[in-house]
Each structure stands twice: as C-alpha cells, then as structure tokens.
Amino acid sequence: MNSTTVRNLLVRGMLAGLGAGVLALVISYWLGEPNVDAAIGFEEAHAAHSHGDEAELVSRSLQSTAGLATGILVYGVAFGGIAALAYCCALGRVGRFGPRPTALLLSGCALLAVYVVPFLKYPANPPAVGNPDTIGERTTLYFLMVVLSVLLAIGATLLGKRLAPRIGTWYATVAAVLGFAVAVGVAFAVLPVVNDVPGNFPAALLWRFRLSALATQIVLWGGFGLIFGELAHRYLRPEPARDTVSRGVSAGQ
C-alpha cells in the first residue's frame, strides 16, 4: 500500500473517528451524565466535612458539556487515526474480507482488546467511588491491563495465522481465541484486585454508570467501523463511471 493511500485512509479514519465521537457524545451525555450527577450528589451528601468554601476550578456545567465534548471528540479522532493505520496493515491479511467487513472486524477487535477486556478487570467508576490516595496505582494498573490485552490480541492473531496452513482457518481461529481467553484469565488472576466501592454506595447507580460507559464505547467503535468502512470502500473501490456515450447511443437506437 503506497504512502498516498495510507495518507488518504488516515484522513478518513480521523474523520470517521470524529463522526463516531459525535454519536458517542450523545450517548454519554444522555445516559452517562445523569449518573455522574447522582454520584456527585451522593459524594457531597456523605462528605465528612463541608466543601462549600472550596473554589470550584471548573464548573460542573462546563465539565458536562464542553469538557465532555472535547474529551470524547479528541479521543475519537486520535483512535480513529490509529485504527486507520492498523487498517492499512490488516487489509488483505485477515482473510478475504473487503474494505467494509475489515473495518467492522478491526473496530470490533479494538473494542474488545482496548476497552472490554480491561473493563472486565477494572471497570469504570463514578466520581464518588475510589480512594484519592490510590488513583495513581489504579490508573497504572488499568493502562497495564490495556497494554497486556492489546499485546495478547496481537499474539493471538499471529498464532492463528501461523496455525491456519497446518490445521485450517476454522481450527486456527478457535485455537487463537482460546489462547487469548486463557492468557487474559491468567492476567486477571495475577494482577491485583481493586475494590474501592463504598459499602453504602447505591448498587443500581454503579451498575447504570458502568453500563453507560460501556454503551458509549460500543457506539464509538461500532460507529467508527460503519463510517470508516463506508469511506474506505468508496475510496478503495470507487463505483465505475457511467458510460454516458454508450447510454446515449443505446437511447438513440
């Protein structure tokens, strides 16, 4: 794949990430922000001392609008560009898939490796959950799980491709998936457990918050796969130009 094609797909990937970010922003605002507000209300109601005299550096209204939009849209553009580069490497190398199915397959694998697997080990928590003294440790563990998940996914893909000529594509895929699951299970068992949820925190609120976080990521990556797949298909396999001359001749006859 030449540099011009890579550049054009990179631009389309970033645009697709932006479009998917807009969709995810809607989901996050309507599903996630009410839960964040409820969690903040719980934290303020159960605070050991009053925080009324503390200066608020960034207002909650700004956080839930401009701040939320900036974070999700920048995230979408950045990961859209990275996914587009990965797409350039994957196209034609993961079976006989066209541009659209390859984009959906890539976005699904990225969702699984980058978010779902780390989420299962260290799920998202609302503002009222978590000890401020351990935030650095928790952040390190989460990103370590992300890196491990991505590396294990790459390793499983390479294993499947290596086994395919010997045992066939189906059995190679099954072996790769099982190997990935076992390796993730070992990582889950080895990495420390983090449980900072207060005993009196509403379980339903925690569940809704985590579901909204998961829904936002599903919409983000699913939207990216659909949008980028269409853009890549139109670029890589443009519709043949209509032969207006021949059509005119046929009409005249």
pLDDT tens digits along 110-127? 999 999 999 999 998 887
Q: 3-state secondary structure string, the chain?
A: CCHHHHHHHHHHHHHHHHHHHHHHHHHHHHHHHHHHHHHHHHHHHCCCCCCCCCCCCCCHHHHHHHHHHHHHHHHHHHHHHHHHHHHHHHCCCCCCCCHHHHHHHHHHHHHHHHHHHHHHHCCCCCCCCCCHHHHHHHHHHHHHHHHHHHHHHHHHHHHHHHHHHHHCHHHHHHHHHHHHHHHHHHHHHHCCCCCCCCCCCCHHHHHHHHHHHHHHHHHHHHHHHHHHHHHHHHHHCCCCCCCHHHHHHHHHC
In the predicted model, is pLDDT for residue 89 greater than 70?
yes
Nearest to 222 by CA among 110, 82, 89: 110
Give residue 58's pLDDT.
65
Mean pLDDT of 73-86: 93
Instruction: Give 226's pLDDT tier (boundaries 50, 70, 90).
Output: very high
Return the domain boundaries, the chain: 1-45+61-128+199-239, 130-196
Q: What are phi and psi of 155, to 5 degrees?
A: -60, -40
In the predicted model, is pLDDT for residue 241 greater than 50?
no
Alpha-carbon distances, residue 139 vs 133, 142, 157, 185 (angstroms): 12, 5, 27, 20
Give residue 87's pLDDT.
92
Give residue 56's pLDDT.
60
Average pLDDT of the chain is 85
Mean pLDDT of 203-213: 92
In the predicted model, is pLDDT for residue 131 greater than 90?
no
Instruction: Give 239's pLDDT tier (boundaries 50, 70, 90).
Output: low
**Alpha carbon distance 156, 208 (integer Å):** 32
Instruction: Give 84's pLDDT tier (boundaries 50, 70, 90).
Output: very high
- The region of weakest confidence among 42-56, 95-109, 192-206 is 42-56
**Alpha carbon distance 167, 147 (integer Å):** 29
Mean pLDDT of 74-88: 92
Instruction: Give 240's pLDDT tier (boundaries 50, 70, 90).
Output: low
pLDDT tens per residue across span 10-63: 999 999 999 999 999 999 999 988 888 888 887 777 665 444 445 566 677 777
Bigger pLDDT: 127 vs 173: 173
**Alpha carbon distance 62, 142 (integer Å):** 27
